[in-house]
Chain A
């Protein structure tokens, strides 16, 4: 579609289109998305939780007018949930309905036809005739064997179903794989993909994200939120606040009618931003105490 061509004509086009969809990309993000479209390669997106990896795939689907097909990974995910499976119950019912006089061969052909096929996200993406974006979310959760299955599909864009034959993709869809980095993915999978690491945003981008996602916030408060979060991320914490936590915090402050964040407000609401007690204590201590008495910013 022509829409898509405009978006991907050049790098700035990609970035602008994403911004229109309220996704604030930096040079790296926009560049890799642009390149992925050009090269027809999947993108493997890694980074801390809550930094916009999943959202990126959604937003790219939105700006390209594509349907998002999402495969949420979990431990134990297998072919039958990722690719396809036969509708066993329905098959049984059919067998019973046929009674005993039907010719077995006919029934069997019938049983393994389209009607009884349960299409799962990977097959769905391959068979799609309309433009789609395939999101394989949190791929680091699946076992290595399932990863091999994914790799196979991403290399060939075809699936062979013994009873039905080979299904080839009509188009190479845009594919995003995300990982929170809980384990190393296989070298083979990484080689197949373009790699994009999404880190916490810098001050300017975070401020823009806050403004875009919490439109009712005023500019001054958004700026303060972004600044405080940046300073907190410089502390040596167990878990840094993510973008989603920044947004939660911004929404909380708006709800409370806060105009200006002072130490008291920050202390009261720190639990929205930070998840560990020790982290909260550390942050409160850093920001409520007089910095002149401290040796300088912790690192």
Chain B
């Protein structure tokens, strides 16, 4: 089942100093989460998305704003190990979350195997979609390993019993939430396949 999020006592604590002058409800709150292993403790406007906070407050500009409406996948990051569109997540709602962005995929100077495969396979042109493709594929590996089916998985296959094999058809379907305007899809699928082999 889905990871239960323990209720956070500190969660959504309104920042008293930032309320409306007329005494209406505060419109900013303090949140604490971790990004690429580092704690982030900040006061956010309730309207701010996780994408905006990553890019503008934390200087992590790897996650890209393509459409800002969940339609392109350029903003994909991992939240508590699961891939998600950061443009539709409100930052205030992420208190206590563990966020991994493209900046956190490599181990120091050593690229994540998928990053290396993207280089080897020339899996991008302009690169705008790339960080989203990479984070999405890393999330997908975990889903397939956990036996999660996709739209193209044989319906007769029991879920959760052993990993689902990532054939090119599975990869294309599972990565359909990441658009590439340059059309680098064939090389992206090849790079992902390299890592699964």
A associates with B? no
